């Protein structure tokens, strides 16, 4: 895959994630988004922060297992990344750590529902 292909894939994936963040923001589940533009920028920032966290954990030799404990660890990392994105993106307001956890769960659930719905159509 070329570098251009990777960049296009990231931008399209961020478009989908931005839509999910925008929907969760409209639902009032732990975060507020001022529009689709900030949601799209937030999706790109979150993707970059997630890549940095994954790289850092890999460089330190830390692996996160599966199961319930792994899910909780992933949720905490997602909440921290979402809070960090809220500090970088103008127009994205995360309502504390609890709000970030709720928003992370909602983003995961809405994303799963949309993916499932698209799979049913295809």
Tell me the per-residue pLDDT of 13-71, one tens digit each, with 9 for 90 and over: 888 889 989 998 998 888 999 999 999 999 988 888 888 888 898 888 888 777 888 88
pTM comes to 0.80
Q: Domain locations in the chain?
A: 3-121
Q: Is the pLDDT of residue 114 over 80?
A: no
**Cα separations in angstroms, 118 against 15, 16, 105, 113, 114:** 15, 12, 20, 9, 6
Cα 75 off chain centre by: 11
Provide the pLDDT confidence category of residue 1 given band limits of 50, 70 and 90. low
Scanning the structure block, which residue is given the tokens 């905490």? 76
Confidence of residue 93 (pLDDT cuts 50, 70, 90): very high
């Amino acid at each position: 895959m070329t570098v251009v292909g990777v960049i296009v894939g990231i931008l399209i994936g961020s478009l989908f994630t931005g839509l999910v963040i925008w929907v969760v923001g409209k639902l009032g589940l732990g975060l507020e988004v001022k529009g689709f533009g900030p949601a799209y920028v937030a999706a790109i920032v979150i993707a970059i922060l997630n890549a940095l966290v994954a790289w850092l954990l890999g460089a330190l030799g830390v692996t996160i297992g599966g199961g319930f404990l792994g899910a909780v660890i992933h949720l905490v990392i997602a909440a921290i990344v979402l809070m960090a994105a809220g500090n970088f993106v103008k127009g994205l307001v995360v309502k504390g750590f609890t709000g970030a956890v709720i928003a992370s769960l909602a983003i995961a659930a809405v994303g799963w529902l949309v993916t499932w719905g698209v799979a049913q159509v295809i």
